[in-house]
Amino acid sequence: MITKFPTNHRHLIIFTLNITITVDDDLWRTEIRAASASQQETFMLVHLPTDNLSATMPTITSISGTHVQGAIINDPDTTFVVMFSDVSQSTPIASAAYSVSYSGDAKHTLLGIAAGNYQVTRNNLNAIPVVVGNDNVLQFEMDGGGDFSIQPL
């Protein structure tokens, strides 16, 4: 779904949810809720701020892994891999694994990772150390996709 706002921002929802867009005193607000109040949903909202009304959204593909889920965003300029700790995890997680296919360089961001020292491997090789602070965000860049594993040191 693409929704245009007055500032020409575009939004894409990659999972189906109830979406309410309201205007109150000339302010726009978007609410995203689970289809049922007793239900949890996993979703990701991708914004493409642009003044170019013919711009197209990048290709977005869902990814599921061990303790994480997210998406790869194939923007023409940069590839992004964004992963979130699984909804079944109520506290930050200390390990994760996922597979993603791409060529070239990609920026990986994992959210909901417990603070500490980790190593990231691709295809059980290329171990790189990464420190996660109190913001619970793990970030790294890697050339080429594969099977990624995040483990504490």
4 Cβ partners below 8 Å, 6+ apart? 10, 53
Chain segment 26-56, per-residue pLDDT in tens: 666 666 666 666 666 666 777 777 777 777 8
User: Which residue's entry shows tokens 């040191």?
Assistant: 153
Per-residue pLDDT reduced to its tens digit, 105-129: 999 999 999 999 999 999 999 789 9
Q: What span, in angstroms and rounded, lies between the C-alpha atoms of 50 and 60?
A: 17
**By residue range, what is the domain housing residue 15?**
1-55
* Token pair in block for residue 36: 């049922």
Q: Which tokens in the block code for residue 104?
A: 């070239």
- Same domain flag for 43 and 62: no
Name the residue among 36, 39, 80, 37 with its Cα closest to residue 58: 80
- Say yes or no: 23 and 63 in one domain: no
Same domain, 84 and 48: no
Residue type, 36: S
Both 62 and 51 in a single domain?
Answer: no
Provide the number of structural domains found in the chain.
2
Do residues 71 and 82 share a domain?
yes
Please write the tens of the pLDDT for every residue from 123-148: 999 789 999 999 999 999 999 999 99
Residue 4 sits in the same domain as residue 62: no
pTM of the model as a whole: 0.75
Query: What are the tens digits of pLDDT across the range 48-65?
Result: 777 777 778 888 888 999
Neighbours of 29 (CB within 10 A): 9
Whether residue 68 is found in the same domain as residue 36: no
